[in-house]
């Protein structure tokens, strides 16, 4: 029994020794880039609106993403059309390997955030605008009809981020194919073009730096032929949007929420 255990231990040591010393397809000094698409989910959030004639908060507001339908027609019409490929929720990223299996990168995540219309939520605060007047600041309920509020980051909920990730190769065949796990994190600015119409006012949709986000990520990457790869990953983030424009006259909103983003992409190392 002791000899069997010794052989087992030796095999485990030899396995991990060969594993850690195995050649990697992600070499120090390499660059890479990829393009992909995403789906996202968002936690409920409290949204505070403040302007010249209003100061109120909506509680536990629900939202969803708005990915372009994945159909045969849309694949050719939008996803693979160079003139429309930025309409679906998409991602791009360029990175550099600082050491073997460790990279830093700069990228852009184009997600979309759409408030669920006609939901009923709690509200507190005051509104002075005629037709929407609310003089008692105590908590009550409000249905979010389109004349009261439409609220979207659909052009979109954009994150420009610096990220880092470490890779763990788990299988490789010559210099042509491999599979690796990776994990990492990062953060950056949120630069949405928010589409907001509040209290039947003029719609606002200006580009604007509205806050920041931080993310953790976990995924798998497969080299499908030499330097061409595909990857699938999940990002788990926190968004602090403290400066959302809601009108063309300086009215603002602020909110914080968590989000999950699921990305599929294809790229090239060079």
**209-242 burial: b if 16+ Cβ within 10 Å, else e:** ebbbbebebebebebeeeeebebebebebebebe
Question: Which pLDDT does position 15 carry in this prediction?
Answer: 40
Tokens of 155: 């052009």
Question: Which pLDDT does position 77 carry in this prediction?
Answer: 78
Mean pLDDT by 10 residues, the chain (270 residues): 47 42 83 97 98 96 92 80 88 97 97 98 96 95 97 94 97 93 97 94 88 98 95 98 92 97 97
Question: Which pLDDT does position 22 carry in this prediction?
Answer: 53
Tokens of 92: 């791009």
pTM summary value: 0.87
């Amino acid at each position: 029994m002791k000899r069997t255990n010794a052989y087992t231990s030796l095999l485990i040591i030899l396995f991990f020794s060969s594993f850690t010393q195995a050649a990697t397809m992600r070499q120090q000094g390499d660059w890479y880039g990829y393009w992909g698409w995403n789906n996202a989910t968002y936690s409920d959030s409290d949204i505070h609106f403040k302007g010249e004639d209003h100061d109120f908060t909506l509680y536990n507001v629900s939202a969803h993403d708005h990915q372009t339908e994945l159909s045969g027609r849309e694949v050719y019409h939008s996803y693979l059309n160079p003139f429309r490929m930025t309409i679906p929720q998409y991602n791009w990223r360029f990175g550099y390997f600082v050491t073997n299996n460790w990279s830093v990168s700069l990228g852009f995540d184009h997600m979309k955030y759409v408030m669920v219309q006609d939901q009923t939520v709690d509200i507190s605060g005051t509104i002075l605008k005629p037709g929407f007047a609310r003089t008692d600041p105590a908590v009550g309920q409000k249905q979010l009809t389109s004349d009261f509020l439409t609220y979207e980051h659909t052009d979109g909920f954009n994150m420009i981020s610096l990220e880092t990730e470490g890779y763990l190769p788990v299988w490789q065949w010559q210099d042509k194919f491999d599979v690796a796990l990776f994990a990492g994190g990062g953060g950056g600015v949120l630069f949405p073009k928010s589409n907001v119409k509040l209290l039947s006012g003029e719609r606002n949709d200006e580009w604007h730096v509205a806050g920041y986000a931080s993310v953790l990520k976990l995924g798998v990457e497969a080299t499908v032929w030499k330097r061409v790869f595909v990857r699938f990953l999940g990002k788990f983030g926190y968004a602090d949007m403290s400066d959302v424009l809601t009108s063309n006259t300086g009215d603002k909103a602020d909110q914080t929420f968590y989000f999950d983003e699921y990305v599929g992409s294809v790229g090239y190392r060079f």
